[in-house]
Each structure stands twice: as C-alpha cells, then as structure tokens.
Amino acid sequence: MERHEALEMVKKQLTEHRYQHTIGVMETAVALAEQYGADVKKAELAAIFHDYAKFRPKEEMKRIILEQNMPKDLLLYNTELWHAPVGAYLVEKEAGISDVEILDAIRYHTSGRPNMTLLEKIVYLADYIEPGRIFPGVDEVRELAKQDLNKALIKALKNTIQFLMNKNQTIYPDTFYTYNSLIMEVKGEEAR
C-alpha cells in the first residue's frame, strides 16, 4: 500500500492531534530504519497504522480480544494496552495488510515483547520519541537513539515503568519482560 493511501485510511480513524502524532512517528520510524538498516517501507507502513485502533470503543476492543483468542490477561490491565493488538487485527482485516512483520510491529508497539525484531524496536521507539512528545526524559532517549537502539529502548521502558509506578498503576508483565530481555541483549553485546 502506498503512503498516501495509508495516511488517508488512518486519518479517518484518528483525531487531528493523534494524526499529527502519527505523522511524527512515521517520519521518525523512517529515519531510524535508515539509520539502523531496517526495511524503510515496512517501518513507514507500520508507523502509519500503529494507532489505527486507538479510538475504537472499549466494548469492541474487548470483544475482539476474546473472539480472536488474544491474551486474556490484557483485559485485567490498563485499557490503553488494547489498541495495539486490536490494531494489528483490524489493520489486516480493514486495510488488507498481511505482512506479519508489519502487523507484529503494530501488535507490540505499546507493551513491547521479549526478543523484539528490529522493526518492532523501531516502531516502539519512534512512538516514544517523535517530535510531538514532551514527557520528562524524552530528550535523553532521543540522544541515546542516535547512538544505540537498545540503550534508547531500555531508557524508554524504564521511564514508562517508573511513570506507571508513580501513578500507582498496574504494569503489564510483558512490559517487564521486554525490559529484562533488552538488558540481557545489551549485556550479551558487551560480553562479546
């Protein structure tokens, strides 16, 4: 699918603010893909569609999670987590995108997962550091992203976990598993 066609599709699903965020994620993901040698076209499409399901009614998302046999424990945690796996499902169904790498980058863009692919990492990080983001610590992650993808991701995960803890919110286990997996990956690199 061409960029303009994809953008037209997502624009209808999003608010103007969320659409501008999506443009930022797209541009950032393309730059990271060029920098780290990922498939630029896949990064672009995954970024464009990453928040496709963001504004679907919670009841619809819940139904899809149950009917499509997605992990049921998602329903026990923050509803903010749901749009990622539901988005992957709807993007395949409604936009006809069947590329598993693109769909997984959408599916795991909020929680991450252990042993993330390069494309998954790029979309996750682009979502965190796109120019419209202003949360505390984001500049440090932007700087790390210039040097080391995994170290930037660790900082982003750490910030997110700390942010949620400070608000006494639950933390989805995959968020911790993602953090652990990245720490081990960096330790492995350093031992070589």
Can you give the binding site for ligand DGI, defined by CB under 6 A?
Answer: 21, 51, 54, 77-78, 80-81, 84, 109-111, 127, 160, 164, 171-172, 175
Q: State the minimum distance, in angstroms, from the CB of residue 88 to ligand DGI.
A: 12
Contact 51, 21 (CB under 8 A): yes
Coil vs helix vs strand at 57: coil
| Angle, helix 3-11 to helix 40-49, in steps of 10 degrees | 10
Q: State the minimum distance, in angstroms, from the CB of residue 72 to Fe ion.
A: 20
From the list 173, 170, 9, 25, the residue with the least C-alpha distance to 94 is: 9
Figure out which of the listed residues 24, 30, 47, 51 binds Fe ion, where binding follows CB under 5 A. 51
Contact 34, 43 (CB under 8 A): no
Q: State the minimum distance, in angstroms, from the CB of residue 80 to ligand DGI.
A: 3
How many residues touch Fe ion under the rule CB under 5 A: the total is 2
Residue 119: burial class (beta carbons within 10 Å; 0-12, 13-18, 19+): buried
Contacts of 64 (CB under 8 A, 6+ apart): 70, 86, 89, 90
Residue whose CB is less far from ligand DGI, 144 or 156: 156
Q: Which does 52 bind (CB under 5 to 8 A by kind): ligand DGI, Fe ion, none?
A: none
Q: Which does 49 bind (CB under 5 to 8 A by kind): Fe ion, ligand DGI, none?
A: none
Residue whose CB is less far from Fe ion, 51 or 174: 51
Contact 55, 15 (CB under 8 A): yes
Residue whose CB is less far from ligand DGI, 55 or 143: 55
Contact 1, 45 (CB under 8 A): yes
Residue whose CB is less far from ligand DGI, 165 or 189: 165
Residue whose CB is less far from ligand DGI, 37 or 185: 185
Q: State the minimum distance, in angstroms, from the CB of residue 3 to ligand DGI.
A: 19
